[in-house]
Structure 1
């Protein structure tokens, strides 16, 4: 943050000097702004905190020295210190991203082999595999890679901060490509202006984020990157695969198709209403149609070709004549006239699809609306064919092709909105409807087989269960209004707008059938015809470890019900299952949850194969490792054989959304990694265990059971654990951080079970324990090996051969490297009861040491990040600057809990949480 900011270096990484220079530049600008805006006294306080943090890292002073120095500083003076270190964390993140981009470019220019996770590397692997076209066709028959942006992010940055971040990135890129002194001086002035704007912008919202704000925030990624990247990537992947297997039928639809939960996920969120569902879909539609209209306007300007010099087709001239553009000035410009007519028809389409308030800026038109995106594509196809006939393929391959690719994937809907609700709510709603209709009272008390019989009979009937004038409870009326709103969206915008209905805590066949009965009630499902249909996938979400274990049995039982099976068959035999990473981890700990997910996938694959259906898995991953995070490429390759089958969906949450999709370069790299891993997992045996698979599975069965025992002993078996957790972490204060519209708990209780996974993980991350990402693994390994060298050799061999085991340990190591039990001890001191503090924190420190030792012993590495030099560099260079944020957070928590309940203290706590979430990058 000052001119001496980056005195720490890593001599083992000579190539990191450009990174240090970038951080030094940005930190110096920030330091000058702090001095100018906050004064010399604050600047000196920041400098003192910075220097002493480095001395703590070098063991020259104790942590208590810095804490004591800051304890006497008034809260008003602490706030700018927190802001300075928070801004530095954000700027350092940008510098690291740019450095990775720079290193990749260096490797490309050096002629190095393409790295894993790139499509170039994947294509080389596929070329070596000698795959038959029929194999490729079958594996990619339902190809889909769908990153789904969720409705409960831990992203804390405001839009203005986000815009500054984008501007600084572009300026730093420009700076790297110029040696002109005047240009460099101007760039530094522009950087100063942007960072000054950052400093003068409030980091924390005064009011909690509303769902409609979340919708707008999610949509901004389309303008920033997705409109640019997704169509191009889809076209390139399709061309690459078809050139390799011209006789195979591949990618009849775009492979990358993003999705969204924002505005449709009402599990525990009372703020989602029918109006919100409608608004989410309308805003998405307006964004898609607005994009298409803007591209058409640009095309109309660009395609100035005259009939006098360019041959055109009869179809193109007919399209021009039907456009209504009869001006003499453009009589010989058929392309412009044709596109003018297409714009007019799309304008009419927007007017048909959207309420007046959501209409993009359009031109007046008396032309008919397009019924579907396919009709719009047909007209653009006429223009494309005429251009190519006129030897203008290079022009057709530019904006026109990109627009056609965009319409193919985004249509009029942009991205499908998922609906989600808890199975307990469905049961109550169906019970009330059945009672109101006079069919049965006490439905919820019926045994499972009677529920299934009742629900299947209901699915076969034509009559509805209720009428518009029915007197229903508030909950039932609200649920029905949401479903009716969804049905209206499907009728108006099309079935692509809402494609999935997720059932949280799904445990039985009746849970699945209840949703189907509700969809039937609003007309989204019909079994009473020769051609059964359902425009919505009903997707069970298996969340707890026990539910994951029972998932295959639940699916098998559902498929044995003719009514359920007929709906599967009408969707081309495709069944989607969602797997919950967050709650399974909170339920049983890191290793047990990861293995339960793997085992569940194995069982589901076998069940699907036996039933003759296609299985698509939807991975409910969070940003942090404790919620399923980690490198997506490695995570996909770590799936069991048959679990990918050419398609997958996965949630994108929290601050990782911005890290992956805030600008085209990042978005391209992350989407490419998803596609690369999907292709490899679908077409190549990546598990590598072969005949040793069952013995490896048995080892993990035992390890997972031991890990769960250790985790359960701490979380559920240690007296006072809940008190320790709520006192030693800022979990109680997380609810006040205005980062989302969702409550921190599903129910108003203090139970760990009812607490949502995001605050559970975020709280442990803030206090630097990172418990959900490792606890229990060390005890499991230590107990299982038991001093037996043959057992240690078994685990070492599995680490070398098995991507799953390697990924689990690698992700765990990243978490352990970010943990800091010296800082965590400061948080433990917030617990007043010394016996409780020692009882819980003693277990945590012992298990931490045991887990680090287990990792190093199995892998043979000498450090936790030996296989991740980029993160090792970050931890080495930047993590000392997290020390003041953690120290100040503890200080302010002490003041707050001692009765200093002021706006300044509350604001300071939230600022530290914001800064740490930014610095740690995957905190929720």
Structure 2
């Protein structure tokens, strides 16, 4: 396999890497699968490039796979899928290469790096008091979530990492001919291992598997990278504003939804919540115990040669280490004592003990701060006798790790749909004799009842009460969370998120459930308090429009306002990018979110709270995806006040965090954008903001109407969607633990967002990322050059509008309506097929024309050369995967439901998701 691209000198090393890796893969396919499979792979590759050069018609390529036997199809699918994996590696290495070249050339740091942010802060000359206020309670939290398109096994990731390390060594080491040949053999060995390793599991992922998948990124990169970035940022900011005591707690702290998100997932139970929290804690404590064991070995300083502090001597003596060989080694004795106490801590709340645990009769630590205090004693003593260079190494990183991860590693959010809360609350209130039919009550009466319940410690249930399966399960989950908060600490479960939150009662129901579990304390005459925050999730366009009103009305309730006050006046609000897109399409959803943020910022100012926004972004543009730096800078003024939480999902997690260098770069991006959005004026509209907002109000409504005409009003659209995409098979195949739909209906609204977006991505329509935008622009401009000039001006000045068009262009560059036409052929109703696909193609062409008119460029990726290179290099290799998927879908739907056929479809999905990189 080889690849070519338009051919700039700067990208020749990338092309060489792709040729080298692809060449080895091709040789191995021939050796492992035989000449016939290799010939088919090569034929498909050559014909795909001929197709791109317009030398053949697409149908000629498609005929290669007509009626293909599954035994032949699977190795061909694997060949093209593996090429995508190897192309990803080559592109990652090339990005590192280009950054190194820029740095060596002495060029200014690139935007989205912390180095560039520091330079911007220096130029802005912001006063210390302003910085201290804006960065109070600062938090940047990437929140790891499960995802059905990311099913690769840990073994695959580890093999990829070994190939990456070898490719780096190959490039950066001065090797003679024999040494280079040996490295090449090692690369070949790893690619052979990759080829002979199953890419995906045969069985459906359980939530327990998804928990382990999420945790593997800590061992791969996050445990190493996060603490160091926190330390660097704190040092740099304090150097600039030394009197402000900035970031007393680490700004970068991770979160998770895996095992706590039960919205539409019946498999989340109290046992799963317990497992998710305790497995995360295990990873944290295992890491600390391992680092402590290594420190014990490293800090061999003798009391005969150095003078330690009195506090260190006390810590060593208290450890009870009796070995005569360590009598003059106080650091080793002290650290052994720390390890015994941390072991006792692990014994107190973990289900299993890590390997480096040391059993002894020791007192457990009550909090991570106690562990930090002991590590600080070791640090202070080392510095006292001139060992700063030692203190700044492993010990410093361990101290930073404990600060960052605590005992819980990451906070597990709980999430449930408001409809479930309503059912549970109705049953509890009826059992307790408060009201026999809560669901029949109007909103005002519901709020009155719930407010009264929040003010009393009287429970609504008892240990011997019998409830429905739903209520029993929900109560058990909140009690599991309460137990985790008591034993591990409040960071174990920081938030309770309410999906489809539409009213004050929706928020209060969640608060009452927290009280019922013993988490929320009404105060009994004192200030009420809950270590778990109540977080509304506004998702549909209507809910986003009413979000600020709902929040203000809830804050008007004295006991809820007191709860927020007790949490430092911090109130988190989550914004959903998925359901708003299903509701109104790309432009309407993005503008509804922007407007919601404007309203919420105003609500926060009026009510005196500190607003933290949690962005539920998916990997794809249709679910809020796209470059994180640009997306954060595109937020309205005041929406990012030192705080940001953002979901990270599926193959995007792997792309960002599977390796330390990439993890550092991507985490820096989140921090850089958050700091700049908080401390600098990045919106760029000034006094012209309101007229710009009015234009977007009009455009968004036009886009919503156009989108609705297709998705919600066209008869048979849902049938077309189900037949022309693999959405029906997603539910049948072993992809993820969560059902594809919230409930068994044929409504687009009830589909989960990931299958909705993923299906359009697989079929290369990418509809959620652009449909309706062209009609909106064309209708608003209506041939008026002055209006077109106004949109061009907004594109030039306004980061939000730039980002909307840039992300839309990126997703349209990955669309291919020629391939989509092949999927449309899966719809037997010719009239329906021609009508719907005709509407899609017309709007696609219209949107391309309008993008060119506004931006002045017919190059969709003019502002994104990295993606342009990726599209050019790898997209011919996607072509066979799409044709094979269509053929296998055809066979599967015709009744061939063999496991091998299902596995073939799953492999095509995985291969396409890997190559597209933001499919769901």
Q: Which residue of 1 aligns with 2:437?
A: 442
Which residue of the other structure, out of 763, 766, 773, is the alignment partner of 1:770?
A: 766
| 1:240 paired to 2:236 | yes
Deviations 1:173-223 (A, max 9, x none): 111112222332222212112111211122232111011111111111111
Which residue of the other structure, out of 438, 457, 460, is the alignment partner of 2:455?
A: 460
Report the Cα offset of residue 476 of structure 1.
Answer: 0.2
Q: Which residue of 1 aligns with 2:182?
A: 186
| 1:62 paired to 2:66 | no
Q: Distance in 1 between matches of 2:733 and 2:784?
A: 49
Deviations 1:144-200 (A, max 9, x none): 000000133531212221111111111111111122223322222121121112111
| 1:492 paired to 2:487 | yes
Q: Distance in 2 between matches of 1:497 and 1:303?
A: 32
Q: Distance in 1 between matches of 2:783 and 2:532?
A: 54
Which residue of the other structure, out of 867, 874, 883, is the alignment partner of 2:863?
A: 867
Deviations 1:719-748 (A, max 9, x none): 110111111111111123433110000001
Which residue of the other structure, out of 333, 354, 357, is the alignment partner of 2:350?
A: 354
Q: Which residue of 2 aligns with 1:504?
A: 499
Aligned residue runs from structure 1 range 293-692, under 5 A: 293-355=289-351, 357=352, 359-529=354-524, 530-692=526-688
Which residue of the other structure, out of 724, 730, 754, is the alignment partner of 2:726?
A: 730
Deviations 1:535-576 (A, max 9, x none): 101000000000000000000100111111010110011100
Which residue of the other structure, out of 279, 286, 310, is the alignment partner of 1:283?
A: 279
| 1:813 paired to 2:821 | no
Residues 146 and 650 in structure 2, CA contact (< 8 A), matched pair in contact too = no
Report the Cα offset of residue 461 of structure 1.
Answer: 1.4
Q: Which residue of 2 aligns with 1:144?
A: 139
SS of 1:572's equivalent in the other structure is coil
Q: Which residue of 2 aligns with 1:703?
A: 699
Which residue of the other structure, out of 883, 897, 919, is the alignment partner of 2:915?
A: 919
Residues 347 and 353 in structure 2, CA contact (< 8 A), matched pair in contact too = no
Which residue of the other structure, out of 256, 261, 267, is the alignment partner of 2:257?
A: 261
Report the Cα offset of residue 641 of structure 1.
Answer: 0.3
Q: Distance in 1 between matches of 2:199 and 2:122?
A: 49
Deviations 1:357-401 (A, max 9, x none): 354441121121111111111111111111111011111111111
Report the Cα offset of residue 874 of structure 1.
Answer: 1.3
Deviations 1:288-335 (A, max 9, x none): 111111111111111111112112111111111111112221111111
Deviations 1:376-431 (A, max 9, x none): 11111111111111011111111111101100111111111000000000011010
Residues 67 and 887 in structure 2, CA contact (< 8 A), matched pair in contact too = no
The number of residue pairs the alignment matches comes to 918
TM-score (norm 2): 0.99
Q: Distance in 1 between matches of 2:899 and 2:277?
A: 37
Q: Which runs of 5+ in 2 are unaligned?
A: none
Residues 10 and 877 in structure 1, CA contact (< 8 A), matched pair in contact too = no
Residues 831 and 837 in structure 1, CA contact (< 8 A), matched pair in contact too = yes
Residues 819 and 882 in structure 2, CA contact (< 8 A), matched pair in contact too = yes
SS of 1:579's equivalent in the other structure is strand
Which residue of the other structure, out of 81, 86, 89, is the alignment partner of 1:94?
A: 89
Q: Which residue of 2 aligns with 1:77?
A: 72
Q: Distance in 2 between matches of 1:605 and 1:208?
A: 43
Report the Cα offset of residue 528 of structure 1.
Answer: 3.0
| 1:844 paired to 2:840 | yes
- Specify whether residues 95 and 736 from structure 1 end up closer, same or farther in structure 2 by C-alpha distance, changes over 3 A only: farther
Q: Which residue of 2 aligns with 1:878?
A: 874
Q: Distance in 2 between matches of 1:229 and 1:638?
A: 26
Q: Distance in 2 between matches of 1:523 and 1:78?
A: 56
Residues 153 and 653 in structure 1, CA contact (< 8 A), matched pair in contact too = no
Aligned residue runs from structure 1 range 149-168, under 5 A: 149-168=144-163
Report the Cα offset of residue 527 of structure 1.
Answer: 1.5
Q: Distance in 1 between matches of 2:353 and 2:215?
A: 14
SS of 1:889's equivalent in the other structure is helix
Deviations 1:757-778 (A, max 9, x none): 1000010001100000000000
Q: Which residue of 1 aligns with 2:267?
A: 271
Q: Distance in 1 between matches of 2:98 and 2:797?
A: 28
The answer to which of 242-251 and 357-366 deviates more is 357-366
Residues 282 and 358 in structure 1, CA contact (< 8 A), matched pair in contact too = no
| 1:204 paired to 2:196 | no
Q: Which residue of 2 aligns with 1:21?
A: 16
Deviations 1:902-923 (A, max 9, x none): 2232222111111111111110
Which residue of the other structure, out of 875, 886, 903, is the alignment partner of 1:907?
A: 903
Residues 293 and 356 in structure 2, CA contact (< 8 A), matched pair in contact too = no
Residues 227 and 406 in structure 1, CA contact (< 8 A), matched pair in contact too = yes
Q: Which residue of 2 aligns with 1:794?
A: 790
| 1:895 paired to 2:891 | yes
Give me the CA root mean square deviation.
1.0
Q: Which residue of 2 aligns with 1:171?
A: 166
Deviations 1:799-856 (A, max 9, x none): 0100000000000000010000111111111111111111100010010011111111
Residues 326 and 333 in structure 2, CA contact (< 8 A), matched pair in contact too = yes
Residues 885 and 916 in structure 1, CA contact (< 8 A), matched pair in contact too = yes
Deviations 1:65-85 (A, max 9, x none): 111232143221111111101
The answer to which of 853-862 and 256-265 deviates more is 853-862
Residues 372 and 399 in structure 2, CA contact (< 8 A), matched pair in contact too = yes
Q: Distance in 2 between matches of 1:444 and 1:279?
A: 33
Residues 289 and 360 in structure 1, CA contact (< 8 A), matched pair in contact too = no
Q: Distance in 2 between matches of 1:192 and 1:225?
A: 25
Report the Cα offset of residue 270 of structure 1.
Answer: 0.5
Deviations 1:770-806 (A, max 9, x none): 0000000000000000011110111001001000000
Residues 234 and 254 in structure 1, CA contact (< 8 A), matched pair in contact too = yes
SS of 2:411's equivalent in the other structure is coil
After TM superposition, the runs of 4+ consecutive aligned structure 1 residues lying more than 4 A away are none
Q: Which residue of 2 aligns with 1:854?
A: 850
Q: Distance in 2 between matches of 1:161 and 1:45?
A: 25
Q: Distance in 1 between matches of 2:6 and 2:340?
A: 60
Q: Distance in 1 between matches of 2:210 and 2:750?
A: 24
Q: Which runs of 5+ in 1 are unaligned?
A: none
Report the Cα offset of residue 629 of structure 1.
Answer: 0.4
Residues 145 and 647 in structure 2, CA contact (< 8 A), matched pair in contact too = yes
Q: Which residue of 2 aligns with 1:779?
A: 775
Residues 726 and 759 in structure 2, CA contact (< 8 A), matched pair in contact too = yes
| 1:721 paired to 2:717 | yes
TM-score (norm 1): 0.98
- Specify whether residues 646 and 362 from structure 1 end up closer, same or farther in structure 2 by C-alpha distance, changes over 3 A only: same
